[in-house]
Chain A
Amino acid sequence: MNCEECKQRPATVHLTKIFNNQKTELHLCEECAKHHDDIPFNLSFSMEPNFSIQKFLAGLLESVTVSASDAGSTSAGNGAGSAPASGYSPGVEDPDEAAEEALAAAPHCSNCGMTYSQFERIGRFGCSQCYQSFAGQFEPLLRRVQGNSRHTGKAPLRTGENLGYKREIEQLRQELQAAISAEAYERAAALRDQIHALEGKLSSEK
């Protein structure tokens, strides 16, 4: 949306003005907002009215998966939609057949039955196992949404101890590489011993 005043810059300031129970909305760019008469009293600012994380995410999902390997199911969907012989009103796919075909063809979560394209549509998973079921497909999305794909925070106590060791081992391995490239062999030997000791703790717990 462009600014209502200059009609050039994008509107970033959204004002809702209420006077005598009359609600008027005003969308301005920052420049024009600065000089507007109605500011500053009895107004409320909002960053983006009706902003919805889910819609935003659905948008992101679309842009991420255009290049992904989902092309097969997309063309199948189009085919069903444009089939002229269908007795349904235009634009409505045969719900049963299309759904069944898609489900049979598309990989889905074995625990909850959700397919990746269903996830794309609603922006939510069906169960915790979906994360494993779709790991390969949604990693790029995760990087885009979260800027990262690796948890470094708290872990439940029961898995936490092992995870702590694993993270420590990972850290030591990196130091070991650095020590080797720096030809600090004594340090490298000490690090290797530490790693072995931690690995021992890991396996003994399993």
Chain B
Amino acid sequence: MSIQETLNNAFTKWMEGEGPEARIVISSRVRLARNLAGQLFPHLMSQETGQAVVRLVQDAIADPAVREKLGPLFYAPLNDLSLLERQILMEKHLISPQHAQDEQAPRGVILRPDEAVSIMVNEEDHLRVQVLLPAFQLEAAWRMANLVDDVLESKLDFAFDEQYGYLSCCPTNVGTGLRASVMMHLPALAMTNQASGVFTALSKVGFVVRGFYGEGTEAKGNLFQVSNQLTLGLSEIEILDRLMTVSRQVIEQEQMGRRSLMKERPSQIEDMVFRAYGILTNARLLNSEETMFYLSCLRLGIDLGLLHNVSNRTLNELLVRTRAAYLQGDNKGAMDAFNRSLKRAAIIRKALAPDPGAQNNRSGPESLT
């Protein structure tokens, strides 16, 4: 396993497209912020102190006792990767946008071969342990993150205070250091103008709604990430329980929205789904914004039983394969927007082309009566 394989392969664990509530929930994420006691935080680090932290962490994951409990993990130094390659890791959600942009201290990412576990080293905090699973699996993600934390803590001296908990660089993460999020596809809420109301309500009870790429990004393609805002005062289990409760409410609201759209405006919805299918399977130029939107229409179409020959897994993979950096993976960043649109459209046409084996029985979307 090497970072090159990770970069070449668009698919990653969270894209599986199957699991609890997979029709609405794309993925579940648990992230823990941890720091080494006494060490300067990454934004103040020199090359030497940054390197020292990297070495401590590398030694920890190479320890036989750690490998026995967590399986093999490999470290990839981000300083050795180009900006484009780092953006690919960001587009796969393995590292944050900030970690991809940052050029300062020595920094890296630790990955488990299936990429469900990724640990950012020297991002805002020394360690950001992230577990990312497909569908609505917050509890499983927490169990894994908790295990990784336990095992690392046996080798590393984490900064912890009895009153303030795990000490983070920014006080918005102090305490549990836990940020849990659920990525949801909410086209019905958006179309019925309920989204802003729902999100305002969520913000009043301590949850934040962000777009597909986290902090500061817009919600494109009707993909919304709901996460806990507070990290101090509640236990990890309480935080997760609350997030699961509100997520279930959002899921329910979205389901109701989808049902009522199908009941009240069936022709418009069908038109929207099949129009999107028609465009994606025929267009020769597609920009990223419209791609996100049409992919959202297809995802809705699958859930409403209108489309049968496309899987959520294919759509999840396309979300990443059609992003700017991934598209030009082998072009070393030389590709302009026009050529990206050209390649994007080609990739989508190919991915959505009916399975050649099944072509005799079925071509294109199943006809509606």
* A151-B153 in contact given A53-B215, A127-B41, A159-B160 (Cβ < 8 Å): no
CB contact between A146 and one of B174, B199, B200 (< 8 Å): that residue: B174
A39 to B195, CA, bound (A): 12
Flag the segment in B60-68, B229-237, B359-367 that touches A: B229-237
- Cβ of B251 under 8 Å from chain A: no
Q: How far is the CB of A123 from chain B (nearest CB, A)?
A: 6
Flag the segment in A13-21, A67-75, A177-185, A186-194 that touches B: A13-21
Could you tell me which residues of chain A, from 126 to 154, have a CB within 8 Å of some CB in chain B? 126-129, 131-132, 138, 141-142, 145-154
Q: How far is the CB of B195 from chain A (nearest CB, A)?
A: 5
Could you tell me which residues of chain B, from 125 to 183, have a CB within 8 Å of some CB in chain A? 146, 149-150, 153-154, 158-167, 169-172, 174-176, 178
Q: Which residues of B contact A146 (CB under 8 A)?
A: 171-172, 174-175, 230-233
CB contact between A30 and one of B161, B190, B196, B289 (< 8 Å): that residue: B196
A14 to B239, CA, bound (A): 29
Flag the segment in B216-224, B241-249, B298-306, B307-315 that touches A: B216-224
Flag the segment in A43-51, A86-94, A96-104 that touches B: A43-51
Interface bits B74-90 vs A (CB < 8 Å: 1, else 0)? 00000000000000000
A156 to B36, CA, bound (A): 12
Known: A44-B219, A149-B232, A151-B162. 14 other contacts (CB 8 A): A30-B197, A43-B190, A47-B199, A47-B209, A50-B216, A124-B43, A127-B38, A127-B39, A129-B38, A141-B171, A146-B172, A151-B165, A154-B235, A166-B162
A166 to B144, CA, bound (A): 28
- Cβ of A78 under 8 Å from chain B: no
- Cβ of A117 under 8 Å from chain B: no
Q: How far is the CB of B253 from chain A (nearest CB, A)?
A: 15
Q: Is the CB of A33 within 8 A of B39?
A: no
Q: Which residues of B contact A145 (CB under 8 A)?
A: 171-172
Q: Which residues of B contact A172 (CB under 8 A)?
A: none
Name the 7 nearest CB pairs between A and B, nearest first: A148-B233, A151-B165, A128-B159, A146-B232, A128-B167, A40-B191, A153-B235
A-B contact pairs, 9 of them (CB 8 A): A41-B272, A44-B222, A44-B293, A45-B190, A47-B203, A47-B210, A128-B41, A146-B230, A157-B150
Binding site for B on A (CB under 8 A): 12-13, 16, 18, 21, 30, 33-34, 39-47, 49-54, 57, 111-112, 114, 122-129, 131-132, 138, 141-142, 145-159, 163, 166
What is the predominant secondary structure among interface residues of chain B facing chain A? mixed
Q: Which residues of A contact B176 (CB under 8 A)?
A: 151, 153-154
Interface size range of chain B in the complex: 35 or more
Q: Which residue of B lies closest to A119 (CB)?
A: B171
A159 to B170, CA, bound (A): 23
Q: Which residue of A lies closest to B222 (CB)?
A: A44
Q: Which residue of B lies closest to A138 (CB)?
A: B171
- Cβ of B37 under 8 Å from chain A: yes
- Cβ of B118 under 8 Å from chain A: no
In the complex, which of the residues A39, A44, A131, A149 has the most CB atoms of chain B within 10 Å of its own CB atom? Answer: A44
Q: Is the CB of B293 within 8 A of A156?
A: no
Q: Which residues of A contact B199 (CB under 8 A)?
A: 45, 47
Q: Is the CB of A111 within 8 A of B232?
A: no
Q: How far is the CB of B174 from chain A (nearest CB, A)?
A: 7
Q: Is the CB of B160 within 8 A of A44?
A: no
CB contact between B290 and one of A40, A42, A158 (< 8 Å): that residue: A42
Q: Is the CB of A154 within 8 A of B215?
A: no
Q: Which residue of B lies closest to A56 (CB)?
A: B172
Q: How far is the CB of B89 from chain A (nearest CB, A)?
A: 22
Could you tell me which residues of chain B, from 2 to 48, have a CB within 8 Å of some CB in chain A? 35-41, 43-44
